[in-house]
Amino acid sequence: MAYFDHAATTPMLPEAIEAMTKALSTTGNASSLHTSGRRARRAVEEAREDIADALGARPSEIIFTSGGTESDNLAVKGVYWSRRTDRRRRVVASGVEHHAVLDTVQWLVEHEGAEVTWLEPDRHGRITPEALADALGDDVALVTAMWANNEVGTVNPVRELAALAAGRGIPFHTDAVQAVGAVPVDFTESGASALTLTGHKLGGPYGVGVLLLGRDVATTPLLHGGGQERDVRSGTLDVPAVVALAAAVRHATTEQLARVDELAALRDELVASVRRVVPDVVLNGDPVHRLPGNAHLTFPGCEGDSLLMLLDAKGIECSTGSACTAGVAQPSHVLLAMGVDPVAARGSLRFSLGHTSTAAEVRELAEAIGPVVERARTAGIAGMKRLKAEV
């Protein structure tokens, strides 16, 4: 077995499982006024302080949510709605965002009178400060650009991007779902107004996340009700998930971050060992500004879903990139935006490593990849091949 899909979800850390298991057996609504309620509230507030401390934020800047998608929706829609005026309805967004941002922006355009300027990445998938500077103006309600790309692993110059937006008084949101635990993330220092993170990408549980939201960033709520989270987000707090998230964030930003060089070395060995067997393999993304666990590879002449199936049959798990609800692999919008040829884009796989990855797993892939690529090349690319009879 070799698991190379940590960017989809990574195993929960033992300390997170322990914290969550313990909390599951205690009762208490964090909004209740009695002893049990206060105990639950204390656990939540300690978790909030831990997360704030780990990420260079103030406790009051932590909004607990149900995960990355909700945090992205809250930041993009909430800030847009709060700042929208007749003359300020433009959203500046990177064109290589996760669908949680991409589709949210598109929805605002289609239903809420927003205009959008999509920032084109460079050929490595990076959003440059120059591209953002060109797009800014007084009519911009919000800028959103991810910290690190989920597909090709490219890390953006977030501090410079945020500073440009701040210089014009425009809120800057960044989706840091892939970044926390992989690169140093300090909210205050980054200059961002809002930052998305989620539990299950960093060793915490599914279904819980955070929007770090500056105190002075006006945000219209999406969920109305009890007003639990600063009146920006309502809903009974999921105490076991929140304490487990805090345990995971603590670990991810300390011990895990201390070992990123090892992880990057393992990733480099993966790329090198694949290249030894498949010399024409192409590494996509930024060679320098890159997540330590990401190897995004194009195998010319292959179809990604063939490769995925063949590797899966050998117990090696990876990803073809973004998938729609029916499970159909679409050519990645990220690769297309980077200027990759659509057919080549279909022949790409993402291998993402994480805290449980081992050299043995990399060796397993190195041994399997040669015959797999050969087979996939024989099968060709559906839609490209015609039967001989027709010639």
Partner 1 sequence: MRVLAAMSGGVDSAVAAARAVEAGHDVTGVHLALSAKPGTLRTGARGCCTVEDARDARRAADVLGIPFYVWDFAERFTEDVVEDFVAEYAAGRTPNPCLRCNERIKFEALLDKAIGLGFDAVCTGHYARLSTASGRVELRRSADDGKDQSYVLASLTHEQLSHAMFPLGGSTKPEVRAEAAARGLQVAEKPDSHDICFIPDGDTRGFLTKRLGEQPGLLVDDETGAVLGKHVGVHEFTIGQRKGLGIDAPAPDGRPRYVLSLEPVSGTVRVGAAEKLAVTEIVAARPVTRIDFDGPVECVAQVRAHGGLAPAVAEVVGGELLVHLREPLSGVAPGQAVAVYRPDAAGDLVLASATISSAG
Query: Considering CB under 8 A, how many residues would be counted as binding partner 1?
Result: 23
Strands of the 62-65 sheet, one edge to the other:
62-65, 209-213, 194-198, 172-175, 140-144, 90-94, 115-119
Pattern 246-285, partner 1, x by CB under 8 A: ----------------------------------------
Rounded least distance, CB 64 to partner 1, Å: 30
The three-class DSSP label of residue 348 is: strand
Instruction: Name which of 313 and 359 has its Cβ closer to partner 1.
Output: 313
Q: Which structure tokens are listed for 327?
A: 């499970």
321, 350 Cβ separation under 8 angstroms: yes
Nearest approach, Cβ of 222 to partner 1 (angstroms)? 22
* Tokens at 289, concatenated: 């500004």
Is residue 391 within the footprint of partner 1 (CB under 8 A)?
A: no
- Rg of the chain over Cα atoms, rounded to whole angstroms, equals 22
CB of 280 to partner 1, least distance (A): 19
* Catalytic residue check, 302: no
Catalytic residue among 33, 258, 324, 387: 324
Q: Which of 144, 149, 154, 306 binds partner 1 (CB under 8 A)?
A: 306
**Footprint of partner 1 on 324-383 (CB under 8 A):** 325-330, 375-376, 378-380, 382-383
**CA gap 250, 47 in Å, rounded:** 10
Q: Which of 308, 334, 335, 368 binds partner 1 (CB under 8 A)?
A: 308
Smallest distance from the beta carbon of 325 to partner 1, in angstroms? 5
Contact by Cβ (8 Å): 299, 129: no
- The answer to the question of residue 289 lying near partner 1 (CB under 8 A) is no
Residues sharing a CB contact under 8 Å with residue 351, sequence separation 6 or more, in sequence order: 4, 267, 270, 294, 295, 296, 297, 318, 365
Which residues would be at the binding site for partner 1 (CB under 8 A)? 305-306, 308-310, 312-313, 325-330, 375-376, 378-380, 382-383, 385, 387, 389
